[in-house]
Amino acid sequence: MKRPNMIRRTGVSHGISRPLVTPLQPSVVYAADNPDALDSMYEGREEGFTYSREGHPNASVLAAKLDQLEGGQGGIITSSGMSAITALFFGVLKAGDHIIGGNQLYGRSMRMMNEELPRLGIATSLADPTDVNAIRAAIRPETKMILVEVVSNPTLRLADMEGILALAAEMGILVAVDNTFTTPFGYQPFTQGADFVVHSVTKLLAGHSDVMAGYVVARDPEHQKRIEIVAVTMGLTASPFDSWLGERGLFTFELRYEKAQQNAAELAEFIATQPGVKRVLYPGRADHPDHNRAAALLNGQFGNMVSFEVTPTRNAANALANAVPQLAFAPTLGDVGTTLSHPASSSHRALTEQDRAELGMSEGFFRVSVGIENIDLLKEDFKTAIQATVAKG
């Protein structure tokens, strides 16, 4: 897969000069000349904006840049990753349809599958995306869509994307890829045959934990139109300021992602050498259960996420989080700084201990979203944190 080009600064012309930074345009309403002008906008003959829930310049600028990265057209910016997924579901699915989701989707996507879609008459199944036969077994005559994350959270397993996309093509089922973890640099769903791409822009693309935004794009313009109508009607679109911040974050995305991945690879090796560590999961390591698939799918971009396990007790987990206050213990990912999360008390707390054990998440299991800090400082931090678990375990 060819890596997309880095986003360039282009600015917007004003006469013979242009500001380097995209102007922030917070106007909610846009005045037009007369009713004929409104007709020509609504009927698509002229470009223009009317009301910012329906569209505004900052969302258009960010969407065009994300379209460029994903190789899509007409994608929209939403107020969060979850609103992108909501717009996708409500734009494309209807009561009576069936959707299959990966069994380790992001927690709120899982809730959509388990609670909200069934409540509205859309049937759902969860299946293991690392095993195409499990997906095949979940297919029903009314299956309309498969939603998959290429790399699962927090055990970092790799979906069998080739198998799933071939199966879906054979059965006439739409495939939506949540590309948040992998980013367009690691995986390009459209070049592989997917029908929809969604992102939590909040995470790696914006990168500074100061904006919530999402993005959704469909391969088929008719689907895209439906998704956009739903987003605008249900009020799922993003504000100008969030769109503007998202665009600003995007300019440094390539640099941040390269450094974070380099740090992640080095930190994973380092953590594996620390006394008290039971296992380390990083798709770039040869001992990762899906290493070969990761090497084939991810374009050499093994990501910035590392998971590891220490003594499986709450005491050890508390000791690890307490030991290094500057290592943010926060259930998010993709920030410029390294963050540490503990699935048993956060993203996966709704599961029983038994269910977590089956997924390989004990009380001693941590997920690290590696940032762009100096790697020697990170190694020191993790050495101290892991040593604390040995003392308290």
Ligand X SMILES: Cc1ncc(COP(=O)(O)O)c(C=O)c1O
Tokens of 77: 């910016």
Out of 61, 62, 82, 159, the only residue in the binding site for ligand X (CB under 6 A) is 82
Which residues carry out catalysis? 53, 106, 178, 203
Give the number of other CB atoms < 10 A from CB of residue 368: 26
CA distances from 363 to 243, 343, 357 (A): 38, 8, 9
CB of 178 to ligand X, least distance (A): 5
Residue 307 binding ligand X, by CB under 6 A: no
Least distance (Å) from ligand X to the CB of residue 9? Answer: 25
**Beta-strand relationship, 214-218 and 305-309:** unpaired
Q: How far is CA 192 from CA 28, 57, 128, 197, in A?
A: 38, 31, 20, 11
Total residues at interface with ligand X (CB under 6 A): 13
Q: Is 81 in the site for ligand X (CB under 6 A)?
A: yes
Taking the C-alpha atoms of residue 203 and residue 153, their distance in angstroms, rounded to an integer, is 14
- Nearest distance from C-beta of residue 181 to ligand X, angstroms: 6
Shortest Cβ distance from residue 84 to ligand X (Å)?
8
Strand 196-200 relative to strand 214-218, pairing: antiparallel
Q: How far is the CB of 203 from ligand X (least distance, A)?
A: 6
The whole-angstrom separation of Cα 199 and Cα 12 is 26
Instruction: Report in angstroms the alpha-carbon separations of 7 from 62, 184, 266, 301.
Output: 10, 12, 27, 18
Asked whether position 149 contacts ligand X by CB under 6 A, the answer is yes
Whether 293 and 275 have beta carbons less than 8 Å apart is answered as no
Q: Of 78 and 389, which CB lies nearer to ligand X in the complex structure? A: 78
The interface region with ligand X, picked from 77-85, 183-191, 224-232, 375-383 by CB under 6 A, is 77-85
**The only residue of 22, 58, 80, 237 in contact with ligand X, by rule CB under 6 A:** 80
Q: Which of residues 104-123 bind ligand X (CB under 6 A)?
A: 106
Q: Nearest Cα to 200, choosing from 314, 86, 279, 309?
A: 86
DSSP assigned state of 155: T
Nearer to ligand X, 212 or 388 (CB): 212
Q: Does 159 bind ligand X (CB under 6 A)?
A: no
Contact flag: residue 242 with ligand X (CB under 6 A): no
To ligand X, the closest distance from the beta carbon of 80 in angstroms equals 3
Q: How many CB atoms lie within 10 A of CB 210?
A: 13
Q: In the bound complex, which residue of the shown chain has the CB atom lying closest to ligand X?
A: 81
The 175-214 contact track toward ligand X, x by CB under 6 A, reads: ---x-xx------------------x-x---------x-x
Tokens found for residue 259: 């450094």
Q: How far is the CB of 351 from ligand X (least distance, A)?
A: 17
> Which string of DSSP letters, residue by residue, matches 230-244?
HHHHTT-BPPHHHHH
Nearest to 283 by CA among 158, 369, 154: 158
Pick 81 or 343: Cβ nearer ligand X: 81
Of 174-182, 293-301, 350-358, 364-372: span binding ligand X (CB under 6 A): 174-182
* DSSP line for 314-337: HHHHHHHHHH-TTSEE-S----SS
Closer to ligand X by CB, 89 or 106: give it. 106
Q: Which stretch binds ligand X (CB under 6 A): 76-84, 163-171, 218-226, 277-285?
A: 76-84
Q: Give phi and psi for 382, each to the nearest 5.
A: -70, -30
The residues that touch ligand X, with contacts defined as CB under 6 A, are 80-82, 106, 149, 153, 178, 180-181, 200, 202, 212, 214
